[in-house]
Structure 1
Amino acid sequence: MKAPAQGWLQAMPIVFVLIWSTGFIVARYAMPHAPPLHFLCVRYALSAVALALWTWGSSAAWPRSRAQLAHLCVVGVLIQAGYLGGVWAAVKAGMGSGLIALMVGLQPVLTALWLSARGGRVAALQWAGLLLGFAGLALVVWRKLGQGSEVSLLTMSLALLALVSITAGTLYQKRFVEPCDVRSASAVQQMAALAVTLPFALMLETQAIVWNAESIGAMAWSVLVLTLGGNSLLYLLIQRGSATAVTSLLYLVPPCTAVMAWLLFGEPITLLTIAGIALTAMGVGLVLRVRG
Structure 2
Amino acid sequence: MSSSTVTKPASLQTWAIAAMPGLFVLLWSTGFIGAKLGLPYAEPMTFLVLRFAIVTVLLCIFAGLSGAPWPRDWAMAGHIAVAGLLLHGVYLGGVFASIFHGVPAGISALIVGIQPLLVAAAAGPVLGERVTARQWLGLGLGLSGVVLVVWTKLDIGVGTAWGYALSGIALLGITTGTLYQKKSCPAIDLRSGTAIQFAATTVALVPFALLFETRQVQWSGEFLFALGWLCIVLSLGAITLLFILIRRGAAARVSSLFFLVPPCTALVAYFLFGESLSALALVGMAATMLGVALVNIAPKTNT
Deviation at 1:199, TM superposition (A): 1.0
Deviates most, 7-16 or 215-224: 7-16
Match of 1:173 in 2: 181
1:195: which partner in 2? 203
Count of aligned positions: 291
Note closer, same or farther for the CA distance 1:237–1:195 as it changes in structure 2 (3 Å cut). Answer: farther
Residue type of the alignment partner of 1:160? G
**CA shift at 1:62, angstroms?**
2.6
1:143 and 2:152 are equivalent in the alignment: yes
Corresponding residue of 2:143: 134
Distance in 2 between the 1:32 and 1:81 partners? 20
Q: Calculate the TM-score normalised by the size of structure 2.
A: 0.85
1:95 aligns with 2:122: no
Cα offset, 1:174, TM superposition: 2.6
Aligned-partner Cα distance in 1 for 2:108–2:281 = 13
Partner SS for 2:103: coil
CA-to-aligned-CA distance 1:224-246 (integer Å, 9 cap, x gap)? 01111224445666788799875
1:182 corresponds to 2:222: no
Aligned pair in 2 of structure 1 residues 129, 54: CA closer, same or farther (>3 Å)?
closer
CA contact (8 A) 1:125 1:290 kept: no
**Partners of 2:268 and 2:10 in 1: how far apart?**
34
Q: Which moved more, 1:198-207 or 1:104-113?
A: 198-207
Shift, 1:5, TM fit: 6.2
Question: Which structure 2 segments of 5+ residues have no match?
Answer: 1-8
- Tell me the amino acid that sits aligned with residue 228 of structure 2: A
Q: Matches of residues 1-292 of structure 1 in structure 2 within 5 Å?
A: 7-118=15-126, 119=128, 122-148=131-157, 150-152=159-161, 154-179=162-187, 181-234=189-242, 247-288=255-296
Question: Which deviates more, 123-132 or 271-280?
Answer: 123-132
Q: Is the 8 A contact 1:93 1:149 kept in 2?
A: no
Deviation per CA, 1:236-266: give whole Å up to 9, x if none: 6678879987554322100100100011111
Is 2:56–2:199's contact at 8 Å kept on the other side of the alignment?
Answer: yes
Write the distance in 2 (CA, Å) between the matches of 1:93 and 1:84. 14
CA contact (8 A) 1:174 1:239 kept: no
**Structure 1 residues 141 and 181, CA gap change in structure 2 (3 angstroms):** closer
Alignment TM-score, normalising by the size of structure 1: 0.88
Distance 1:106 1:166 in 2: 10
SS at match of 2:217: coil
Q: Do the aligned residues in 1 keep the contact of 2:242 with 2:251 (CA within 8 Å)?
A: no
Aligned-partner Cα distance in 2 for 1:117–1:252: 28
Structure of greater Rg: 2
Residue type of the alignment partner of 1:179: A
Instruction: Decide whether the 8 Å contact of 1:75 with 1:172 is kept in 2.
Output: yes
**1:133 maps to amino acid:** G
Is residue 33–residue 209 contact of structure 1 (8 Å, CA) maintained in 2?
A: yes
Matched AA of 1:89: A
What value does the CA root-mean-square deviation take over the aligned residues?
2.7
TM-superposition CA deviations, 1:24-66 (whole Å, max 9, x none)? 1111111111000001001111111111122233443333322
CA distance in structure 1 between the partners assigned to 2:163 and 2:86 by the alignment: 19
